[in-house]
Structure 1
């Protein structure tokens, strides 16, 4: 296992695939011994490796929303030894900790906060009178993107054109399946089926939309397209009389395409450019998208929509339809956690309050 992110750059894609499996086994064993957040970390392995291969931490800031999906980040930044006592006295924290490592810039466990942190760090960075090209990358889950604080930060980022890269880690679940217009199927790698997720035959326009969205993403990731687009816009604007009208016509056409292709319209209406969706378990595709974003962020914030599978690579987590073993107690890693567990304090309290409320109308 590795002690510095720079070691990852030396590995081939075949070696990275092997490392991903080793990391998943290590996380399962560590959580089985100590308890912890399992499903989200198993789903973020390839994404985390890609982030550390493309960006230079701690020079570049990699931020994690909620924080419990940062186990892989901790492993590749030299903290593997601390997992023997994960979340125990004298062991490693289950969340980012500035006390632990220079690779952790913030300490957080609440959802929806990371984009505000990223905005603040970007404002501070841009106060430097000398050019500062450090990247700020914020990883946020689809569940966290349902919080108002995240939307406020998106609005601030888009309006100010701060150089921030947002990675939307979309596994279709937070603690339960997420209801959101930006949520895509939880796993792009499942075998194709004649039926969609609702059990109905997919509509032809759905397939067309996905294909068109993917084609546009491939185009927009192409640096040649980006350069030619800028030249065309400059040429049109400089045309006498008709130039501004022609440029506005192209913008109107692009706006129509964005309106057709959700969730592109959602982000770009806030001034944040959209790339995706990207298969979050395809190492090459992830790195290609992240490198493209690192080159284009000078123009303003971008969001890369990454589709991951919560609990990836561990059958008991993949088969847990309720939470994908989001938070797991101590368990046998061979068999997985027991299907039934003792009622916790929170559930016992909730059940009791409901019973009392049913008998007393004054309780709301």
Structure 2
């Protein structure tokens, strides 16, 4: 195998064109094999194989910095940069990350998991390079989806103004290669990347400007007009960027040629390549959405596997039905239709659905605009992505107490995607915002009740739920719920565990049939059920709070603050995530390490003098 010869990017320099083509296919086979075993980002990584081989053939990593936006398409990069022997551990406990990570390899230029960050990183690196008088290449690979992000577009504005040397590879995996202008278009693309053309153009502009400023201006305007015609008013020129493309992103020889030419040019250049998600694996080519991040599968007989009924699906079903009852309901997503369970909703209520692209801030402020003019917007957003819209939640939604529901998906530790995706900060930063209420359902029925009540109550409400499966409930189920009231699930004689959402199962497991230990579904995190909390404290019950969230500033902190305001000092233990970032791995293992599982609850109870036995049993 050619792959056996490659242990670092420098090994690609000696490979022939034929060997590089073989290498690309071997990389695909290895990516398919490992994703079949572990799950992972399959389709996007298959689509970027030729691109990554060409980049490492031409550029000199780690001296040259290659930045991958999001990083989920960089599996071939990981294999080629010394991680071939551990690639089978990707996204597994103790294994390598599913994204690029600076602390993992010197070849990973940035740590990333969210979209649209690579261009701002790239301009920062370019300024650092030039300020320190260093000389290396900077290449940013960004997808057409990530380019919709406001941060990426704002960075293009800075890049165009700065005119620092860098290459931006726009990996477009949805548009076809345009044939509209045929040979002329191909000629122009080739012509503009030649260094002698750039040098001649620069020399000619200087001569014309010296001889006749008027003639210079006329020629310059004519040239710009020609560019607009030939490139159909390509928007990248407005940013001051040299544009090349679109070109075939699977033509390995062509990509190598282009990179060799483009690396010699000064200033910022965009190379627009067109690729196919799932390239080389028929099922992934046919359905890149499912095979974007599938669970494990049989690579010889790949079939879709039901992932069960998720909280996201439960939310999607609920809002689809609720929209029939509330004609002002409008659902917004920042490019997460499938992940947020909104495919059915978008098809059933297309006129009341908005996808803003990867622009969480725009999604939040658009929701504010809708609320200001009488709609009832529901913003479906992952906890980890809501962090990017925090200012808009405060400035545009909360100050005027607008009727916006935040459906906060993937709350808590998420597993394989690791630190960049864990939704463990939302309680802390939302509960500090005046007027924002926070709820966390224990099941799909309670989720429905909370959604319906939140729309009736008005004001900003966040409803958070985990990345997990949940039991289905019958259509048309709309139970009432007493807003702000906790639910006693089990009476206790000496102590109570206050928990909610995903950790509620640990509380029930720890309590078992022990008559001394009760369990409360603390489903409202703001406002707290202060009446019940005061009653428990005054009666002298020992309390344990448990949450799949940072301990600092979370639910337990809110309980301590409330008790302090009441002047009460019960015996209490606060269990939550410690002040560290949790990496990728199994959720139960991370909960165990964090000290928020059933065993940790039993230990906390025992420390307070409560009789406990084994997990799930009485004394």
Give the alignment's TM-score, normalised by structure 1: 0.84
What residue in structure 2 maps to residue 90 of structure 1?
94
After superposition, residues 154-193 of structure 1 pair within 5 angstroms as 154-172=156-174, 184-185=175-176
Structure with the largest fraction of strand: 2
Identify the residue that residue 327 of structure 1 maps to in structure 2. 293
Unpaired stretches in structure 1, ≥5 consecutive residues? 173-183, 189-205
Q: Which residue of 1 aligns with 2:251?
A: 282
**Alignment correspondent of 1:29:** 33
Offset of residue 278 of structure 1: 1.8
The residue number in structure 1 matching 2:339 is none
CA pair 228-162 structure 1, distance change in 2 beyond 3 A: closer
Instruction: Trace 1:184-223 onto structure 2 (pairs within 5 A).
Output: 184-185=175-176, 207-223=179-195
Q: Is the 8 A contact 2:44 2:73 kept in 1?
A: yes
Asked whether 1:344 is paired with 2:310, we answer yes
CA–CA separation in structure 2 for the residues paired with 1:115 and 1:103? 17
Distance 2:309 2:230 in 1: 44
Aligned residue for 2:208? 236
Q: Distance in 2 between matches of 1:347 and 1:262?
A: 43
Q: Structure 1 residues 249, 107: CA separation in 2 closer, same or farther (over 3 Å shift)?
A: same
Question: Deviation digits for residues 77-115 of structure 1, max 9, x if unmatched?
Answer: 011122222201011110011121001121111111110
**1:106 and 1:208 mapped to 2: Cα distance?**
38
Distance 1:328 1:160, change over 3 A: same
Tell me the residue number matched to 2:149: 147
95-104 or 208-217, larger mean C-alpha shift: 208-217
Task: Work out whether 1:316 is the aligned partner of 2:288.
Answer: no
- Report the Cα offset of residue 22 of structure 1: 0.5
Alpha-carbon contact 2:168-2:270 (below 8 Å) kept: yes
Change (3 A) 1:331 1:207: closer
Does the alignment pair 1:11 with 2:15?
Answer: yes
How far residue 207 of structure 1 moved from its aligned partner, in angstroms, is 4.4
Counterpart CA distance in 2 for 1:141 and 1:263 is 21
Helix, strand or coil: the match of 1:303? strand
| Deviation of 1:139 (Å) | 0.3
Which residue in 2 is equivalent to 1:136?
138
Partner of 1:353: 319
With over 3 angstroms needed to count, the CA separation of the structure-2 counterparts of 1:319 and 1:258, relative to structure 1, is: same
Greater RCO, CA 8 A, separation 6+:
1
CA distance in 2, matches of 1:219, 1:21: 31
Equivalent residue for 1:306, pick from 273, 281, 301 = 273
Look up the SS of the partner of 1:126 in the other structure. Answer: helix
Report how far residue 334 of structure 1 moved.
1.1
Q: Does 1:225 align with 2:194?
A: no
Paired with 1:20 and 1:38, the residues of 2 have a C-alpha distance of: 15
> Retained in 1: the 8 A contact 2:78–2:87?
no
CA RMSD of aligned residues (A): 1.9
Report the counterpart of residue 131 of structure 2 in structure 1.
Answer: 127
Q: Take 2:33 and 2:15, find their aligned partners in 1: how far apart are those partners?
A: 24
2:105 and 2:160 map into 1 onto residues whose CA distance is 30
Q: Is the 8 Å Cα contact of residues 329 and 337 (structure 1) preserved in structure 2?
A: no
Q: 3-state SS of the aligned residue for 2:291?
A: coil
Q: Secondary structure at the match of 1:295?
A: coil
Which aligned pairs between 1:44-123 and structure 2 lie closer than 5 A?
44-123=48-127
CA shift for structure 1 position 167: 0.5
Counterpart secondary structure, 1:269:
helix
Aligned-partner SS, 1:325: helix
Residues 318 and 8 of structure 1, relative CA distance in 2, 3 Å threshold: same
Per the TM alignment, residue 32 of structure 1 is displaced from its structure 2 partner at its CA by 0.6
Q: CA deviation at 1:247?
A: 1.7
| Structure 1 residues 331 and 264: alpha-carbon distance in aligned structure 2, compared to 1, 3 A threshold | farther
**Rg (Cα) greater in structure:** 2
Alignment partners' CA distance in 2, 1:212 and 1:120 = 36
The alignment covers a number of residue pairs equal to 326
- Aligned-residue offset at 1:261: 3.6
Going from structure 1 to structure 2, the CA distance change for 1:347 and 1:261 (only over 3 Å counts) comes to farther
| TM-score, scaled to structure 2 | 0.51
Q: Give CA-to-partner distance per residue, 1:177-228, whole Å, 9 cap, x none.
A: xxxxxxx30xx5xxxxxxxxxxxxxxxxx74524322210111122332232
**Residue matched to 2:480:** none
Instruction: Using the TM superposition, give the Cα deviation of residue 275 of structure 1 relative to its aligned residue in structure 2, in angstroms.
Output: 1.0
